[in-house]
Amino acid sequence: MSATTKNRYDVAIIGAGPAGMAAAVEVTKAGLSAIVLDEQPAPGGQIYRGIETSDEKRTKILGPDYAAGRDIARAFRDSRAEYLPGATVWNIDSALGIDVSLGQGSKHIQAGAIVVATGAIERPTPMPGWTLPGVTTAGALQILLKANGVVSDDVVFVGSGPLLSLIAAQMLKAGVKPRAIVETVPQSRYVAALKHLPAALGAASYLLKGMAMMLSLRRAGVPIYRDATGIRIEGNGKAEAVTFTSGGKSHRLETTSVALHQGIVPNQQVTRLLRCEHEWNKSQHCFVPKVDEYFETTMADVYVAGDGAGIGGAVAARLRGRLAGLRIAEKAGRGNAQERRSVTDALMREAKIRPLLETLYAPSPEILAPADETLVCRCEEVTAGDIRKAVDLGAPGPNQVKSFLRSGMGPCQGRMCGLAVSEIIASRRGEPISEIGYYRIRPPLKPLLLSELAALESEEAVPVDLADESAALH
């Protein structure tokens, strides 16, 4: 590991989670030069957040799957890859030139190949009250625990997915009993998921872990409400209660902390910026970039490894990173076909649990069809009803809705509303979402100061159109 010294690299890797770290190790092992750009101050990504600083006690709470990140981070630190933490990629041009914001200035890097390892984000979950302070994603609470050892003692978890029960179980181990788990999985899903059980038995360790988590929560007396519908978060300026119907009864749980989760989806910003082709993955209910068997996108020499190529989990992310790295090395005449095959085989084993999880924990019908008055675009405060009205007035897709309403034009640049907006338009127009598409993503990927642009090292490297509306920030 060394500090950054130059501007040209055989490979630039964006993101220092399991995929990015593994790709960096593989390409440098093959003798290629590589730089890893990551927004966070330390490696690990969100899945291994705080992995280098988490002490024994905290690591025990988070469990062995988290602890596995230590070796991955160590191998990355020991590699010859250069590592630039605190670096925000804000533009990439078609010749694979990368503009990076370092807080105090911008840097331009020229790459021969790019591995996009920017992982996943939590699926947008529009519902009444989801913008109230005190409402977070479930992942946010896990980040607080991993990175800071901060916990909340009255959390109501709302939603579905393996991460929801994992985080609830981790909180329990940290000594704070969740107030309740409000599960949104419709009863019918269990039946539908059954047919995927035989395949999932090929990844039985995941099933056993899931069962152990649920058992620990039940033993501790954490109330679990099933098949909850009509969920609302109430509060005057802050979250105060969650109301819902479950088992034919209305419930109201008072709490100051509500954690939402409906699974995770690929973070598409970089692959959309690069105009890589994306397709709708019906089973995962999200857009994924089209990739070949080595995770190369439709844009030559641009790879997307990890959950960004479709949700596969942390173990698969690392394997995908390795595979992309091995492929890049192979193209440079430094291939290792045997290793490549063993990684491919391991990836196939990892995939066995996915159909069961994807069927059981598909997003809840309620968040896919929010009520008219529910806010969808958090930044510009645009409701589902506004979007439907714009569609009725003739807006055929997300980019026209954006022009009508400013949805997706605030500082988050559509990250928090994009999928929901496409979903609402598709359902209003009665067209498949694959036809509706997604926001067009433009630079800068994150808002940046004009002083940073002015501080660019070379004058020719200013590819951004400053008049672009996505740069606007209130």
Partner 1 sequence: MFKRAEETGAPALSFTFEGKPLKARSGDTIAAALLAADERIFRTTPVTETPRGPFCLMGVCFDCLVEIDGVPNRQACMVQVEEGMQVRRQSGSAEVIS
Judged by the rule CB under 8 A, the positions of this chain that interact with partner 1 are: 39, 41, 46, 53, 55, 57-58, 61, 121-122, 131-137, 139-140, 143-145, 147-154, 174-176, 237-238, 256-257, 267, 378-381, 410-412, 415-416, 446-447, 473-474
Name which of 350 and 452 has its Cβ closer to partner 1. Answer: 452
Hey, what are 68's tokens? 């596995």
Name which of 329 and 390 has its Cβ closer to partner 1. Answer: 390
Q: How far is the CB of 161 from partner 1 (least distance, A)?
A: 16
Q: How many other C-beta atoms are found inside a 10 Å radius of the C-beta of residue 120?
A: 25
118 close to 308: Cβ distance less than 8 angstroms: yes
Q: Residue 418 burial by CB count (10 A; 0-12/13-18/19+): exposed, middle or buried?
A: buried
Name which of 173 and 429 has its Cβ closer to partner 1. Answer: 173
Strand partners, 136: 259
Q: How far apart are CA 254 and CA 384, in angstroms?
A: 27
Name which of 85 and 396 has its Cβ closer to partner 1. Answer: 85
Q: How far is the CB of 259 from partner 1 (least distance, A)?
A: 10
Q: How far is the CB of 49 from partner 1 (least distance, A)?
A: 8
Name which of 313 and 410 has its Cβ closer to partner 1. Answer: 410
Name which of 403 and 451 has its Cβ closer to partner 1. Answer: 451
Q: List Cβ neighbours of 432 (8 Å cut-off, separation of 6 or more).
A: 280, 426
Q: How far is the CB of 267 from partner 1 (least distance, A)?
A: 8
Q: List Cβ neighbours of 281 (8 Å cut-off, separation of 6 or more).
A: 287, 288, 310
Q: Is the backbone peptide bond immediately before 444 cis, with ω within 30 degrees of 0?
A: yes
Q: How far is the CB of 78 from partner 1 (least distance, A)?
A: 23
Q: How many other C-beta atoms are found inside a 10 Å radius of the C-beta of residue 392?
A: 10
> Residue 33 is which amino acid?
S
Q: How far apart are CA 420 and CA 404, in angstroms?
A: 16
